[in-house]
Amino acid sequence: HPPQVITSEPALSFSSVISTITLSPVTAGEHENSTYISWTGQWSSDADAGVVQDGKYKRREALADLAKAVTSA
């Protein structure tokens, strides 16, 4: 999919981020028959370290929430 431009209110301090979520099967070991989730972000050069760190913690929090949701289902 090509990048999409989306507006924000309030305006963001950076011009773009591309987030990629990858799902992979776990085929061996303790977590066999589970799914490994990877979520990465590629930030534009105008994003400062604070923005990148904030994104990192928000992704971790969202993944933890997802883990809770699927284990309680």
Q: pLDDT tens digits, residue range 27-59?
A: 999 999 999 999 999 999 999 999 999 999 999
Q: By the 8 A CB rule, do 43 and 13 touch?
A: no
pLDDT given at position 5: 67
2: cis peptide before it, omega within 30°? no
- This model's pTM is above 0.75: no
pLDDT given at position 10: 86
pLDDT given at position 47: 94
Residue type for position 66? L
pLDDT given at position 70: 87
Other CB atoms within a 10 A radius of the CB of residue 47 amount to 19
